[in-house]
Structure 1
Amino acid sequence: MVGVTVEAALSLWDEVLENVEYRTMPLSVTVARDYVLAETITLPHDVPHFNKSAMDGYGLIYEDGRRNYIIDGIIGAGVVWNAQVPLGHAVRIMTGAMVPTMCDTVVMQEQCKTDGHIGSTLEIQGQITKGSHIIYQGEDGRKGLEVIPEGTVITTAVQAVLMGLGYEMVEVYRKPRVLVLTSGREVIDPGLKLVPGKIYNSNRVMLQGFLKDLGVVETVQYHVTDDPVAYDDELEAIIRLARDCDIIVSSGGVSVGLYDTLPKMYTALGAKVLYGRIQMRPGAASYGAVTPKGQLIFGLSGNPGAAFNGWHLLVKPVLQRYLGREGQLGKVLLCSLGEGIEKKNPFDRYVQGSIVFEKGRPVFYKNCSNASCGLVGLVTVNALAKIPKGVNSVSGGEDIEVHML
């Protein structure tokens, strides 16, 4: 099977996503963190919706040359002053309090010589300017202004803004329920004794962790042994678990090996195959399909390093769009190559490594090992450098395109 490039695979997923029915729901702002807004937020009122004091000080009507004012009262935050403030008079006012409509200036407390008591006189020290220290109605934004676009990920800061605007509920995109599958008779859980021929299951926690990074926490996990004797029982389990899932992400079992049975199981789900191989290294063993119910299926290599690349290049950009975000590969940065890379590349190669800054310039250093089965080196990976198909040597110091993760 020849396969398609990463770019071609993403284009196929774009076509699929055009027909996806994006489900939304109302959700309390207090629990909406990591969800994606399904509506554009506009200001329901002017912000602020009244003139307020920017300082602790005294509100008054400015008169050129006047230095002394009689204090008529005190206004705390949340208090509305309904009386008049005549010429030559002032009211003591706290930060954030509503400035009386007739007052056009606030003099900060540090410029006033007074005991602050009602009925006493204050003397202004130094120069003041008419209109100073007032935050005017609508200064932050006028009613109807679009301030948070649809597709915005709700962070803590966004929650604070929504609450500050008085939003109790917002419309968000529903998060998918994901079935995470790992495969292989050689795979065992940590805690069990490591014997010859066995490896620990790192892909399960990696895939569930990547999903959590996107805010997807509703996952179901199942391990397929690929043992022919267990095939029927495992197929029945997958059919049952897949009923209530929107997306399936698997690792292993999608290459051309004798025991790579996941594609056959996906066929039993009615899956329409988009691609069965990707023209890239590492991670060529990749699979993409859609079921008649609209479920998305991503099959990644069982090798940790290859699965890592497949997630970032194929799965993450698609799921970002599925979640209502703008889905795209990591931002591309032109970096100087820290050391040369020589490797035959019949397909595009995505080299794992890290970006560091030297003398103010980004430099990319490849991992000590870039084998598809590489595991330990993933600790420091923060970028993937793309070496195009047919380029078999890149020298140290040469500029190279790097996808930031």
Structure 2
Amino acid sequence: MRDNTFPTQLTFDEARSIVDTIAAANRLPTERLAIARTHQRILAQDVIAPMPLPPFDNSAMDGYAVRHADVAAGETTLRLVGEQFAGRALGLRVGEGECVRITTGAPMPEGADTVVIREVVRVDGENIAIPAGIRAHANVRRAGEDVRTGDAILAPGQVLTPARVATTASLGIDQLTVSARPTVAVFTTGDELVPPGMPLDPGQIHDSNRELLMGLLRADGLEPTAWPTLPDDPVRIESMLRDAASSFDVVITCGAVSAGEKDHVPALLAEHGRVHFWKVRMKPGMPLLFGELDRARFLGLPGNPVSVFATYATLGRRLLDGLQGRTEPRRQFRARLAAAIDKPHARREFMRGTLEAGEDGTLRVTPDAATGSHRLRAAAMADVLIVVPDGPQSLAVGDVVDVLPY
């Protein structure tokens, strides 16, 4: 019999701190992957530039490589002495009164310091007429102007966006060390749940939480596994959850975490695992359960679909980010309220809303009037969660609030 004493009725900040601590203590191992497989992964190494970017002076435009000293005085005619295309340096040299035809990305010939674009010149055989007003060093990309050898390019904990992966590729790096992705088992619970497409008997509902949670996890770059629905039978619940917890890094359930007669999950976790906390002073999602079972971190989300969304977006995602060592914060905005909010209760509330930018560039957010945690359509029409602080709040139109984009 495990110790059944554990924190309960925590503030949101207290719960978040526990999630961060547990995630940091259970960081997943790293793996070395080809860069083509690292997109959206969390970097687990420093990336130091082994070479400059660009690696050599080159032309930014199609045109003619010249010495600016030859064209500084005004319109000038220069003699064409060669062509330099992108791909291989030909060792060309531009002397006084000479120029070289050049293409974008091609290395600058020795002696040349400026490129005149082809659209402004006149060509007469081997003579090239250059107009007045050419700026020194125009249309030339200098070696190392973007990255110098030895520059710190990326750091552990950063997300490998396409632009970041491309930067490593441009440096000739073909492999990166990243955090392993957590394996995630997903359960929905309740005898009343029926898969979409199946007929409903009286008292039954279609299972929407499975698709909601699987979609949220996939959008975060994970590959979750959906397990069969947990029945309202404590023996079978125990068997199925312990089976998953022996093989997965994270087990997430939806429902059966409140205080009803068929809410068996908290007692099961207290008996066979460890509870870090149960119930958070947040709305929606107060019955949130967090703990450990076998080798898995265990997250028991409430059963109402909007509660599933809010608890995953605020704490579930934070757990998964922390296990992977992500240091970059998720995006958060500040916006002015387009409608007043009157919150009489003390819990922190995550209210659905719609974010828009006004003609003056100011972000404005409109709260959704449908506040019930079963109102999934309202969640589907919104695009942010409005963070309403702890304690009773009377927020007026124009007040500034934090918003979390979906």
Q: Same fold (TM over 0.5)?
A: yes
CA shift digits 1:234-273 (9 cap, x unpaired): 42232222222001111101111111112233345x4221
C-alpha spacing 1:99/1:191, structure 2 compared with 1 (3 Å): same
Percent identical: 26
8 Å Cα contact 1:385/1:400 also seen in 2 = no
Q: Give the whole-Å Cα distance in 2 for the aligned partners of 1:327 and 1:57.
A: 43
Which residue pairs with 2:3 in the alignment? none
1:355 lines up with 2:355 in the alignment: yes
Map of 1:164-175 to 2, 5 A cutoff?
Answer: 164-175=170-181
8 Å Cα contact 2:59/2:107 also seen in 1 = yes
TM-score by length of 1: 0.89
TM-score by length of 2: 0.89
Q: Give the whole-Å Cα distance in 2 for the aligned partners of 1:246 and 1:390.
A: 35
Which residue pairs with 1:284 in the alignment? 286
Q: Give the whole-Å Cα distance in 2 for the aligned partners of 1:327 and 1:238.
A: 32
1:263 lines up with 2:266 in the alignment: yes
8 Å Cα contact 2:28/2:182 also seen in 1 = no
CA shift digits 1:258-295 (9 cap, x unpaired): 11112233345x422111111122211110102463x2
CA apart distance, 1:46: 1.0
Which residue pairs with 1:40 in the alignment? 46
Structure 2 counterpart of 1:251, from 249, 254, 271: 254
Aligned letter for 1:45? M
8 Å Cα contact 1:188/1:200 also seen in 2 = yes
8 Å Cα contact 1:187/1:201 also seen in 2 = yes
Which residue pairs with 2:169 in the alignment? 163
Deviates more, 1:155-164 or 1:62-71: 62-71
CA apart distance, 1:380: 1.9
Q: Give the whole-Å Cα distance in 1 for the aligned partners of 2:99 and 2:391.
A: 79
CA apart distance, 1:34: 1.6
CA shift digits 1:155-188 (9 cap, x unpaired): 2222322222222111111101001111011111
Aligned letter for 1:102? G
Map of 1:5-404 to 2, 5 A cutoff?
Answer: 5-61=11-67, 62-63=69-70, 65=73, 67-115=76-124, 120-227=126-233, 231-267=234-270, 270-291=272-293, 293=295, 295-326=296-327, 331=332, 333-341=334-342, 344-358=344-358, 360=360, 361-391=362-392, 394=394, 396-397=396-397, 399=399, 401-404=401-404
Aligned letter for 1:75? Q
C-alpha spacing 1:76/1:337, structure 2 compared with 1 (3 Å): closer
8 Å Cα contact 1:251/1:307 also seen in 2 = yes
CA apart distance, 1:51: 0.9
CA apart distance, 1:94: 1.2
CA apart distance, 1:122: 2.0
C-alpha spacing 1:330/1:137, structure 2 compared with 1 (3 Å): closer
Aligned letter for 2:250? I
C-alpha spacing 1:218/1:283, structure 2 compared with 1 (3 Å): closer
C-alpha spacing 1:283/1:45, structure 2 compared with 1 (3 Å): same
C-alpha spacing 1:57/1:207, structure 2 compared with 1 (3 Å): same
Q: Give the whole-Å Cα distance in 1 for the aligned partners of 2:358 and 2:113.
A: 54
- Runs of 5+ unmatched residues, structure 2: 1-6
CA apart distance, 1:112: 2.7
Aligned letter for 2:229? H
CA apart distance, 1:208: 0.9
Deviates more, 1:191-200 or 1:314-323: 314-323
CA shift digits 1:86-108 (9 cap, x unpaired): 32222211111111122223222
CA apart distance, 1:79: 2.5
8 Å Cα contact 2:9/2:281 also seen in 1 = yes
Q: Give the whole-Å Cα distance in 1 for the aligned partners of 2:40 and 2:330.
A: 20
Q: Give the whole-Å Cα distance in 2 for the aligned partners of 1:199 and 1:286.
A: 22
C-alpha spacing 1:195/1:365, structure 2 compared with 1 (3 Å): farther
8 Å Cα contact 1:319/1:327 also seen in 2 = no
Q: Secondary structure at the match of 2:9?
A: coil
CA shift digits 1:291-328 (9 cap, x unpaired): 463x2111111011222221122212222222232375
8 Å Cα contact 1:78/1:97 also seen in 2 = yes
Q: CA RMSD in A?
A: 2.4
Q: Secondary structure at the match of 2:356?
A: strand
Deviates more, 1:43-52 or 1:131-140: 131-140
8 Å Cα contact 1:330/1:403 also seen in 2 = no
Aligned letter for 1:338? A
8 Å Cα contact 2:210/2:226 also seen in 1 = no
Q: Secondary structure at the match of 2:314?
A: helix
Q: Give the whole-Å Cα distance in 2 for the aligned partners of 1:131 and 1:332.
A: 41
Q: Secondary structure at the match of 1:377?
A: helix
CA apart distance, 1:233: 3.7
CA apart distance, 1:372: 2.1
8 Å Cα contact 2:24/2:322 also seen in 1 = no
CA shift digits 1:205-230 (9 cap, x unpaired): 11111111211114242311113xxx
CA shift digits 1:120-163 (9 cap, x unpaired): 22222223344332211111121111222322222222232222
CA apart distance, 1:27: 1.2
CA apart distance, 1:332: 5.2
- Runs of 5+ unmatched residues, structure 1: none
Q: Give the whole-Å Cα distance in 2 for the aligned partners of 1:274 and 1:25.
A: 29
